[in-house]
Amino acid sequence: MMSATPDNAAMLDAFGDALWLEDGLSKNTLQSYRRDLEQLASFLQETSFQQASEEELFAFLAARRGRASSAARMLSSLKRFYAWCLREQRIKTDPTLKLEPPKRVPRFPKILSEADVEALLAAPKVNTPLGMRDRTMFEVLYAAGLRVSELVGLKVFEVNLDAGVLRVLGKGSKERLVPLGEEAVDWLRRYLQTARIELLKKKSTDYLFVTARGASMTRQAFWQNLKRYGARAVPGKPLSPHVLRHAFATHLINHGADLRVVQMLLGHADIATTQIYTHVAHERMKVLHAKHHPRG
């Protein structure tokens, strides 16, 4: 329960009103801030928010056990609250200035080996229109490292088979040109000349990949297809719509691609986001070294 300190509840109300008025935060976000600060009030007991010291806040954070991400979110709530207190002249100094978020253990993306990818690509039966479509989608996703939303959102006019590139609309409505490679170009050409025409049945759409009803593919439908093929081709391996994108980046780096080039291909705004794949590649190299080196 929250402390009965007289001004704590009033301060929470005022802080919540300020967040809503200034930033227009959602009800759930405002409730999240309030829950975090109510936990602090309970920890402080008879001490008001204004009287809390840096040492008390540090002890509060240390007493909370859980994931680093939860602790980081809690610290973010405290920092925002005390920044507001300082701005409103309710305190003279900010007790959170020296508090640092816990270090997170880096989470490496799960990837498929090159052999796994080959098995997955070969899973669809390309003698049917749907199988041809699915094989082409897998080939394009792996060749271009697209996000799934980018893949299903592709339009026919964004594909240049002669130049072997795609024009992709990524996050933040940023466009980028992505090379396809000969294999993906060949599958796309075959799909456009045969399977797509059969699936549309004289219907018309700008979307590149279509369903049996002639509608555009959805992310959910693609995910279901990926799970179905993956269960057969690479049983027991981690699969998600992002897996082939991860494989694209890691395999490029394994084969010597420059990190900046991979950043551009993936459409990452910050190269720090791309650097995770260098760690994945290094981990893979250590495993291979331990397995094959005579003194591994």
CA distance linking residue 36 with residue 19, whole number of Å: 15
CB 210, CB 196: distance < 8 Å: yes
Number of neighbours of residue 245 by Cβ within 10 angstroms:
22
Number of neighbours of residue 56 by Cβ within 10 angstroms:
15
- Find the farthest-apart pair of alpha carbons in the chain and give their distance in angstroms, rounded: 75
Distance of CA 68 to the CA centre of its chain: 18
CA distance linking residue 124 with residue 127, whole number of Å: 9
CA distance linking residue 292 with residue 194, whole number of Å: 46
List, by residue number, the catalytic residues. 147, 171, 242, 245, 268, 277
Tokens (6 digits) for 166:
């795609």
Nearest to 40 by CA among 98, 80, 91: 80
3-state SS class at 250: helix
Q: How far apart are the first and last CA of the chain?
A: 56
Q: How many residues does the chain have?
A: 296
User: What number of CA atoms fall less than 13 Å from residue 139's CA on the CB side?
Assistant: 23
